[in-house]
Amino acid sequence: MNTYSYEKNQEQFMRALKVIPTGIYGHLGPVEGCFIPTSAYPFFSQRANGAYFWDVDGNRFIDYMCAYGPNILGYNDEDVDAAAAEQAKAGNCTTAPSSIVIDLAELMVDTVAMADWTFFAKNGGDVTSFALMVAKAATGRKKTILVKGNYHGVAPWTQKLGYPGIAAEDVSNNFYVDWNNYDQVENIVKEHPGEIACFMSTPYYHPVFADNELPAPGYWQKIRKLCTDNGIVLAIDDVRCGFRLDMAGSDHYFGFKADLMCFCKAIANGWNVSALCGTDALRDAVSSIMYTGSYWLSAVPFAAGIACIKKLKELNAPQMLIKNGRKLTEGLVDTAKNHGYKLTVTGVPSMWYMRLTEDDSLMLHQEWVAECVKRGAFFTNHHNLFMCCAITDEDISHTLDIADEAFKVLRKRPPTTINSVI
């Protein structure tokens, strides 16, 4: 099996460095993306289709990052893109919004079990920040309980004191608890009666660089009651999990009802739209807040969202993704075992996390992932992975062949080379 080379990627990156800070900023850059070693990874894509993307050197990758989640049906899905193109002919950003916004809102309310209304924006961080504003407006309180390690975007309140650009005032109203530790949440509520506006969390624990953890039995039910009894808004960040666990929402999947639910990645198969769904009790609070953006009512992504959600329902997509994800991950675990390695897989199979357990430094895992990428299976070494509906049994089989060869490469190398690949 041949390994890829990246001459044009490197040329483009050097070109980018002259005009773009860090060349590629944010989570898609080689630093934030933890591309170790950087020589194993592509930096720029040329095109994408279905389950694959091709880089500027013409290398094809089975994409298990799915653009970090937005690709759920498959790149360039014909039905979604046709709906977007048709709407583009009629209009996109107009002085008065297209009534198609109502169509998508009705579909979201009909789809998401807890939803009585929907508010649209562009990015996941737009709606997590709005959820916090809604909770504060509704309660007249200012403090929030967050789970350590959860990611809710890049707004100042989501970051840590000491990070560049973050002042103490940005995070002074945040309390932080460990995942699955109900007692910590309860104690904060008792110690600060009438002060907590919101408890916000992802539906299950999916941080970077750590095994994912599902909620303990009864955890969400106890949190729900605690919030209800103390007038606290329960907001769920379903930006990453949304429609990959349950079309009705991940709170529904885990057997409770949120007050606010944040969606983004899987709504429109890559067309840029996000959504905050909520209950009737918070309708007036939402209506009272001035919160908008130049492109938040653009019509093309709404049309794409309608087509995407309808198709996800027709495919019974969450079950498909979980089934195929389980097939892939069980195969990867068995392949690792055949070579004397233990691969640990955690989370829900539609967006799983994996790591080789022989080395807590992750160096061994990083080396194996790099060898997979160089052969055409695009994984990351620190983040959860994603399934999309376009991934076939043949893709899974080919991925297992790639994984097998990557493990063979590891076995041929002396242990001292693990650190030398950086």
Distance CA 108, CA 119 (A): 10
Core vs surface per residue 99-109: b (16+ CB within 10 A) or e:
ebbeebbebbe
Q: What is the CA radius of gyration of the chain?
A: 22
Partners of 356 in the β-ladder: 343
Tens of pLDDT along the chain (422 residues) come to 899 999 999 999 999 999 999 999 888 888 888 999 999 999 999 999 999 999 999 999 999 999 999 999 999 999 999 999 999 999 999 999 999 999 999 999 999 999 999 999 999 999 999 999 999 999 999 999 999 999 999 999 999 999 999 999 999 999 999 999 999 999 999 999 999 999 999 999 999 999 999 999 999 999 999 999 999 999 999 999 999 999 999 999 999 999 999 999 999 999 999 999 999 999 999 999 999 999 999 999 999 999 999 999 999 999 999 999 999 999 999 999 999 999 999 999 999 999 999 887 889 999 999 999 999 999 999 999 999 999 999 999 999 999 999 999 999 886 544 444 33
Q: Where does 133-288 show beta strands of DSSP type E?
A: 143-147, 174-177, 196-201, 233-237, 260-263, 274-278
Q: What is the pLDDT of residue 359?
A: 81
pTM strictly above 0.85: yes
- Answer for the pair 157, 210: CB distance below 8 angstroms, yes or no: no
Distance CA 214, CA 254 (A): 9
Q: What is the pLDDT of residue 418?
A: 43
Q: What is the pLDDT of residue 416?
A: 45
Q: What is the pLDDT of residue 365?
A: 95
Please report the domains of the chain, with CATH numbers, ordered by start residue: 7-63+317-421 (3.90.1150.10), 78-315 (3.40.640.10)
Partners of 53 in the β-ladder: 48, 61
Residue 28 is classified by DSSP as G
Distance CA 421, CA 362 (A): 12
